[in-house]
A = this chain, B = another copy of it.
Amino acid sequence: MAEDSAPHGTAPIQPESVSDATLRGLIGYSMKRAFMVIRADLARTLEPFELRMMTFTALTLVADNPGLSQSQLAQAMAVERPNLVVIVDELETRGLITRDRVPTDRRTYALHITSEGAQLLARATRAVHQHENGIMGKLTAEEEAALIATLKRIEASGGRS
């Protein structure tokens, strides 16, 4: 093992470089660090559209699943219903989606994207794909597919009671 490069110190010697070798093998540690990088990058990409990761995700899901309810959206986004309310509020206030009453069940709202929302989403999606290419550009198509497949399996394995 390599000793410190300041041999004259007594007890409190500060290491030249910090080793994270023990943690590096843990999937939680590696995943967190990679995710933080991606999240920060995505936030920068979405900033010009005044979207965050959560609002972008919600907008995309509403666009792809017209008429879905807030409960359905919350479940799809893996967040609790109370947390979704503010997200839907924000998108509705900005005129990007609508909350439509459902005649057959007056408790629920059917969410729809507006033409404004669709336009913004189209531009944001282009920017996101462009930025993903920048990050994933160094990976081969096989590596990228393997990564996403592995992540999906990890996600599925976490179905906890």
Contact A18 B148 (CB under 8 A): no
Q: How many residues of A contact B (CB 8 A)?
A: 90
**Closest CB in chain B relative to A67 CB, distance in Å:** 5
Residues of A near any B CB (own CB < 8 A): 3-7, 9-15, 18-42, 44, 53, 57, 60-61, 63-69, 72-73, 75-76, 78, 95, 97-98, 100-104, 108, 110, 112-115, 125, 128-129, 132, 135-136, 138-139, 143-144, 146-148, 150-155, 157-158, 160
- Total identical chains: 2
Q: How far is the CA of A34 from the CA of B68 in the complex (A)?
A: 24
* Given A14-B72, A31-B35: A7 in contact with B139 (beta carbons within 8 A): no
Task: List, in ascending order, chain B residues with CB within 8 A of A129's CB.
Answer: 26
Task: List, in ascending order, chain B residues with CB within 8 A of A155's CB.
Answer: 30, 33-34, 37
**Closest CB in chain B relative to A128 CB, distance in Å:** 7
State the majority secondary structure of interface residues on A: helix
Q: How far is the CA of A154 from the CA of B88 in the complex (A)?
A: 31
Task: List, in ascending order, chain B residues with CB within 8 A of A41's CB.
Answer: 158, 160
Contact A132 B27 (CB under 8 A): yes
Return the contact of A14 from the options B24, B37, B110 (Cβ within 8 A): B110
Most chain B CB neighbours (cut-off 10 Å) among A32, A73, A75, A110: A32
